[in-house]
Amino acid sequence: MRGTDSRRLPAEYNKSATLPQTGGAAGVAAGLDARRLSEYLNSIMAVRDILIAPDPRLKTVSEPVDRVDDELRALMDDMLETMYAAPGIGLAAIQIGVPVRVIVMDLAHDGDAPEPRFFVNPEILDQSDTLTSYAEGCLSVPEFYEDVERPDTVRVRYLDYDGNPREEEARDLFAVCIQHEMDHLEGVLFVDHLSRLKRASILKKLQKSRRLATAG
Ligand SMILES: [Zn+2]
């Protein structure tokens, strides 16, 4: 997800701070000094291409993850790098063409230390009756922002970066973002919540700009 208030990280943000303490790249890299760690991470983490609507792959229903292992953590690391580079505040695996139920997110404010979060097989256990409206954007629907109404609080259960089960209540931007990203796991984009006319107009413009980009 792309936020309305852009949450760009400083160009020289400390990459090591974006990583959890155990497992995956962080586990392997433990013991390296900050500069070596940064070089190491640059060498193994990759910014992937983000699919842009109306790419049909974005309509895929993603599969649950069997287990959280190093391979999955490598995917999550790449997703985080891709999201930061975009820049965005949330990304689902299908947006880089991998149809598994994995989401990364960072809702830290500009200038604050990064707060990467990872959600594997997320489920919504409960949601409020109260709805709230937020101007949503999406890395797969670049440059468009539209109000979408959603429950303002949801209770979510998921596995974290280390495969541990977690349950928490999401409010405000966190609630908006987790619902937006979980939609991706069902092959749903925020434009699917808009009127047919508005959606068609946005997708047409995206297709046109992609054609121009290919031609140029
Ligand atoms: Zn999105």
3 state DSSP class of 131: strand
Is 7 part of any domain?
no
Is 4 part of any domain?
no
Q: What is the pLDDT of residue 33?
A: 73
Is 80 part of any domain?
yes
- Which domain covers residue 203, as residue numbers? 15-215
Q: What is the pLDDT of residue 108?
A: 96
Q: Which amino acid is at 202?
A: I
Is 10 part of any domain?
no
Is 58 part of any domain?
yes
Q: What is the pLDDT of residue 2?
A: 84
**Is the pLDDT score of 216 beyond 80?**
no
Is 9 part of any domain?
no
Measure 189 CA to ligand 1 centroid, in angstroms. 6
Q: What is the pLDDT of residue 1?
A: 86
Is 207 part of any domain?
yes
Q: How far is CA 83 from CA 6, 31, 131, 214, in A?
A: 13, 26, 27, 23
Q: How far apart are CA 216 and CA 212, in angstroms?
A: 6
The residues annotated as belonging to the active site are 181
**Is the pLDDT score of 213 beyond 90?**
no
Measure 103 CA to ligand 1 centroid, in angstroms. 10
Measure 176 CA to ligand 1 centroid, in angstroms. 11
Q: What is the pLDDT of residue 19?
A: 43
Q: What is the pLDDT of residue 41?
A: 62
pLDDT for 15-35, tens place per residue?
Answer: 444 444 444 555 555 566 777
How many domains does the structure of the chain reveal? 1
Is 136 part of any domain?
yes
Q: What is the pLDDT of residue 54?
A: 94
CATH code, domain with 53: 3.90.45.10
